[in-house]
Structure 1
Amino acid sequence: MHHSRLSNLVIDCRTDDLKEATEFWSKALGKPVVSFDQDGDGKYAELATMDDEMAVLLQRVDHESRVHLDIETDDLDAEVGRLEKLGAKRLDFLHGRWWVMQAPSGHRFCVVQRQRESFGPHLNRWD
């Protein structure tokens, strides 16, 4: 048995100025900025959300700007396997921490390790 849930809304930004993009989305969504540089490498920013909301992250990317979803899980291999049975495909395992996958519809999404200390209450349970 493992668990998963919709975790993050990730706004992929093809930009040299992630701070400017973060300021825009902060104001557009009414969410204060937690960090303009989450990991200290200029690639991720985070907006504040409540514990029972999806996290909103901004990511500096080289590909076209788009939005993608993250699914967090307590068992990465089991969740990726479950999604493959539904027709998703593995595309890339990044930084030894998460899978980039593609849905049968062509949409890309990530399967990531548990993201927040509180991992409930809106969990899916999979046997």
Structure 2
Amino acid sequence: MHHSRLSTLVLDCCGDDLAAATAFWSQALGKPVANSDQDGDGKYAELGTDADEPIILLQRVDHPSRVHLDIETDDLEAEVGRLERLGAKRVSFMRGCWWVMEAPSGHRFCVVRPQRDAFGPHLNRWD
């Protein structure tokens, strides 16, 4: 048995000015900037959300801007396997930590380890 849930809405932002994108989305969504440089490399910023809301992460990328979802799980391989049985495909294993997947619809998404201390209450239980 393992668990998973929607974890993060990731705003992939093409370009060098992540600060401007962060300011826009902070104001557009009415969410404060929680961290303007999450990893210290200028690639990630996070908006403040309540514990029962998905994380909103902005990511500086080289591909066209888009939005993707992260699904967090307490068993990475079990969740990736479950999604493969539903028709998803593995695309790449990133930094030895998470999987980029592609849905049958062509949408990219990530399967990641738990992102917050409290994993529940909005989780799915899979046997």
Q: TM-score, normalised by structure 1?
A: 0.99
Report SS of the residue matched to 2:110.
strand
Cα RMSD over matched residues? 0.3
Give identity over the alignment, percent: 76
Note if 1:53 corresponds to 2:64: no
Deviations along 1:15-36, whole A, 9 cap, x unmatched? Answer: 1010110000000000000111
Deviations along 1:46-89, whole A, 9 cap, x unmatched? Answer: 00000000000000000000000000000000000000000000
Q: Could you say which residue in structure 2 is the equivalent of 1:121?
A: 121
Separation of aligned partners in 2, 1:15 and 1:104: 28
Summarize the alignment of residues 28-39 of structure 1 with structure 2, pairs less than 5 Å apart: 28-39=28-39
Q: Could you say which residue in structure 2 is the equivalent of 1:11?
A: 11
The amino acid across from 2:94 in the alignment is: L
Separation of aligned partners in 1, 2:15 and 2:53: 26
Q: Could you say which residue in structure 1 is the equivalent of 2:20?
A: 20
Q: Could you say which residue in structure 1 is the equivalent of 2:98?
A: 98
Q: Could you say which residue in structure 2 is the equivalent of 1:66?
A: 66
Q: TM-score, normalised by structure 2?
A: 0.99
Separation of aligned partners in 1, 2:16 and 2:123: 36
The amino acid across from 2:77 in the alignment is: D
List gaps (5 residues or longer) in structure 2: none
The amino acid across from 1:116 in the alignment is: R
List gaps (5 residues or longer) in structure 1: none
Task: Tell me the number of residue pairs that the alignment of Structure 1 and Structure 2 aligns.
Answer: 127
